Amino acid sequence: MKFVKSLAFLGLACFATVVSAAETLTVYSYRQAFLIEPILADFTKETGVKVDVVFSKNGIAERLAREGRLSPADLILTSDFSRLMELVDKELVQPVNSKTLSDNIPHALRSPQDDWYALTKRVRNIYSSKDRIGPIAIDYEELADPKFKGKICTRSGKHPYNISLVASMIAHHGEQETKIWLEGVKANLARKPQGNDRAQVKAVKEGLCDIAIGNSYYLGKMLQDPNQVSWAEAVNINFPNQENRGSHINVSGMALAKHSPHKENAIKLMEYLSSDAAQKAYAEVNMEYPVKLNVAPSKLVASWGEFKADELPIYKLAEYHKVAVKLLDEVKFDL
Amino acid sequence: MILGFAKRWSVTSYVVAAILTLPLVAIVIQTAAPDESIFPHLLNTVLPTYVLNTLLLMLSVCFWATAIAIPAAWLVARCDFPGRRVFQWALLLPLAMPAYVVAYVYTDLLDYAGPIQRGLRHLFNWQSPQDYFFPDIRTLAGASVILALVLFPYIYLLARTAFLEQSSSLQHAARVMGCGPWRSFWRLSLPMARPALAVGAALVAMETVADFATVSYFSVPTLTTAVYDTWLEYGSLSAAAKLSAIMLFVVFGIIGIERFARRRQKLFQKHTELNDGDRYTLSKTQGYLALGYCFGLLLLAFLLPFMILMGYGWQYFEVSWNGNFLNYAVNSLYIAVLVSIITVCIAVLLMFVRRCSPRKADKLPSRFASTGYALPGTVLAIGVLVPLTYLDFVINDIYAYFDALGPGLILSGSIFVLLFGFSVRFVAIAIGSVETSYKRMSPTLDMAAMTMGLKPKILLWRVHLPLLRKGIFAGLLLVFIESMKELPAALLLRPVGFENLATYVYQFVSDEQLEHGALAAIVIVLVGLIPLIYLNRSLEHRS
pLDDT beyond 70 at B413: yes
Nearest one of B537, B538, B541, B533 to B96, comparing CA atoms: B533
CA distance A119 to chain B (A): 20
Tell me which of A171 and B473 has the higher pLDDT: A171
pLDDT tens digits, one per residue of B103-144: 888 988 888 888 888 888 889 888 877 788 888 888 999 999
Which chain A residue has the Cα nearest residue B107?
Answer: A195
Residue to substitute from B314, B496, B499, B519, interface A, most A β-carbons within 10 A: B496
Strands of A199-263 (E only): list them.
211-215, 235-238, 249-257
Nearest to A14 among B128, B396, B415 (CB): B415
Q: What is the DSSP string of B13-42?
A: HHHHHHHHHHHHHHHHHHHTS--TTHHHHH
The answer to whether B241 and B94 have CB atoms below 8 angstroms apart is no
pLDDT beyond 60 at B542: no
CA distance B416 to chain A (A): 6
Angle CA(A286)–CA(A290)–CA(A294) in degrees, nearest 5? 140
pLDDT beyond 80 at B168: no
Which chain B residue has the Cα nearest residue A11?
Answer: B416
Which chain B residue has the Cα nearest residue A58?
Answer: B232
Taking the C-alpha atoms of residue A201 and residue A192, their distance in angstroms, rounded to an integer, is 15
Nearest to B495 among A17, A24, A156 (CB): A17
Taking the C-alpha atoms of residue B74 and residue B436, their distance in angstroms, rounded to an integer, is 17
Verify whether the Cβ–Cβ distance B492 to A63 is below 8 Å: yes
Enumerate the residues of chain A whose CB falls inside 8 A of the CB of residue B511: 32, 196
Tell me which of A237 and B327 has the higher pLDDT: A237
Which chain B residue has the Cα nearest residue A198?
Answer: B512
Which residue type occupies B420? F
Taking the alpha carbons at both ends of chain A, their separation in whole angstroms is 59
Give the SS3 label for residue B452. coil
Nearest one of B251, B77, B36 to B161, comparing CA atoms: B77
Residue to substitute from B134, B220, B233, B395, interface A, most A β-carbons within 10 A: B233
Query: HEC profile for B294-356?
Result: HHHHHHHHHHHHHHHHHHHHHHCHHHHCCCCHHHHHHHHHHHHHHHHHHHHHHHHHHHHHHHH
Q: What is the DSSP string of B53-71?
A: HHHHHHHHHHHHHHHHHHH
Taking the C-alpha atoms of residue A217 and residue A225, their distance in angstroms, rounded to an integer, is 13
Nearest one of B193, B202, B103, B108 to B487, comparing CA atoms: B103
Q: What is the average pLDDT across B98-103?
A: 87
Nearest one of B96, B377, B380, B419 to B213, comparing CA atoms: B377
Taking the C-alpha atoms of residue B108 and residue B117, their distance in angstroms, rounded to an integer, is 11
R_g over Cα of chain B: 24
Q: What is the pTM of this model?
A: 0.83
Nearest to A196 among B129, B392, B511 (CB): B511
Point out which residues pair with A153 in neighbouring strands.
A212
Verify whether the Cβ–Cβ distance A66 to B46 is below 8 Å: no
R_g over Cα of chain A: 22
What lies within 8 Å, CB to CB, of B101 at 6+ separation is B305, B309, B505, B509, B514, B521
The answer to whether A75 and A266 have CB atoms below 8 angstroms apart is yes
Q: DSSP code of B460?
A: I
pLDDT beyond 70 at B274: no
ipTM of the complex model? 0.78
Residue B140's φ and ψ, nearest 5 degrees, are: -60, -40
pLDDT band at residue B271 using 50, 70 and 90 as cut-offs: low
Residue B112 is predicted with a pLDDT of: 83
Nearest one of A109, A171, A156 to A316, comparing CA atoms: A171
Verify whether the Cβ–Cβ distance B386 to A335 is below 8 Å: no
Which chain A residue has the Cα nearest residue B228?
Answer: A58
CA distance B304 to chain A (A): 20
pLDDT tens digits, one per residue of B488-512: 788 878 888 788 888 888 778 777 7
Using a 10 angstrom Cβ sphere, with 0-12 exposed, 13-18 middle and 19 or more buried, the burial of residue B454 is: middle
Verify whether the Cβ–Cβ distance B113 to A202 is below 8 Å: yes
Give the SS3 label for residue B147. helix
pLDDT beyond 60 at B417: yes
Q: A60-67 and B377-401 are packed helices; what angle lies between their axes, rounded to 10 degrees?
A: 20
Taking the C-alpha atoms of residue B154 and residue B150, their distance in angstroms, rounded to an integer, is 9
Nearest to A70 among B129, B216, B396 (CB): B396
Taking the C-alpha atoms of residue A43 and residue B274, their distance in angstroms, rounded to an integer, is 65
CA distance B527 to chain A (A): 23
CA distance B123 to chain A (A): 14
Give the SS3 label for residue A247. strand
pLDDT tens digits, one per residue of B38-62: 888 888 888 899 889 999 999 999 9
Verify whether the Cβ–Cβ distance A196 to B381 is below 8 Å: no
Which chain B residue has the Cα nearest residue A16?
Answer: B414
Nearest to A58 among B128, B232, B497 (CB): B232
Enumerate the residues of chain B whose CB falls inside 8 A of the CB of residue A58: 228, 232, 378, 491-492
Which chain B residue has the Cα nearest residue A52?
Answer: B497
Tell me whether strands B280-281 and B79-80 are parallel, antiparallel or unpaired.
parallel
Verify whether the Cβ–Cβ distance A322 to B233 is below 8 Å: yes
Residue B102's φ and ψ, nearest 5 degrees, are: -60, -45
pLDDT in tens, chain A (335 residues): 455 555 555 554 544 444 444 468 999 998 877 778 888 999 999 999 999 988 887 778 888 988 889 999 999 999 888 888 889 988 999 999 999 999 999 988 888 899 999 999 989 999 999 999 999 999 999 999 999 999 999 999 988 889 999 999 999 999 999 999 999 999 999 999 988 888 899 999 988 999 999 998 899 989 988 888 999 999 999 999 999 999 999 999 999 999 999 999 999 999 999 999 999 988 888 889 999 989 999 999 999 999 999 988 887 888 898 899 999 999 999 88
Verify whether the Cβ–Cβ distance B112 to A203 is below 8 Å: yes
Mean of the per-residue pLDDT values of chain B: 84
Alpha carbons within 13 A on the beta-carbon side of B511: 24
Taking the C-alpha atoms of residue B308 and residue B463, their distance in angstroms, rounded to an integer, is 47
CA distance A163 to chain B (A): 9
Enumerate the residues of chain A whose CB falls inside 8 A of the CB of residue B111: 195
Residue B232 is predicted with a pLDDT of: 75
CA distance A99 to chain B (A): 30
Which residue type occupies B507? Q
pLDDT beyond 90 at B437: no
Which residue type occupies B515? E
Taking the C-alpha atoms of residue B370 and residue B239, their distance in angstroms, rounded to an integer, is 23
Taking the C-alpha atoms of residue B355 and residue B12, their distance in angstroms, rounded to an integer, is 15
Residue A78's φ and ψ, nearest 5 degrees, are: -125, 160
Taking the C-alpha atoms of residue B58 and residue B56, their distance in angstroms, rounded to an integer, is 5
Taking the C-alpha atoms of residue B527 and residue B205, their distance in angstroms, rounded to an integer, is 26
Using a 10 angstrom Cβ sphere, with 0-12 exposed, 13-18 middle and 19 or more buried, the burial of residue B176 is: exposed
Residues for chain A: how many in total?
Answer: 335
State which H helix or E strand residue A55 sits in: strand A51-55
Verify whether the Cβ–Cβ distance B415 to A18 is below 8 Å: no
Q: What is the average pLDDT across B163-188?
A: 78
Count CB neighbours of A244 within 10 A.
Answer: 11
pLDDT beyond 80 at B247: no
Verify whether the Cβ–Cβ distance B219 to A194 is below 8 Å: yes
Taking the C-alpha atoms of residue B386 and residue B391, their distance in angstroms, rounded to an integer, is 9
Using a 10 angstrom Cβ sphere, with 0-12 exposed, 13-18 middle and 19 or more buried, the burial of residue B265 is: exposed
Verify whether the Cβ–Cβ distance A205 to B113 is below 8 Å: yes
Verify whether the Cβ–Cβ distance A18 to B497 is below 8 Å: no
Nearest one of B472, B476, B475 to B461, comparing CA atoms: B472
Verify whether the Cβ–Cβ distance B46 to A71 is below 8 Å: no
Verify whether the Cβ–Cβ distance A206 to B113 is below 8 Å: yes
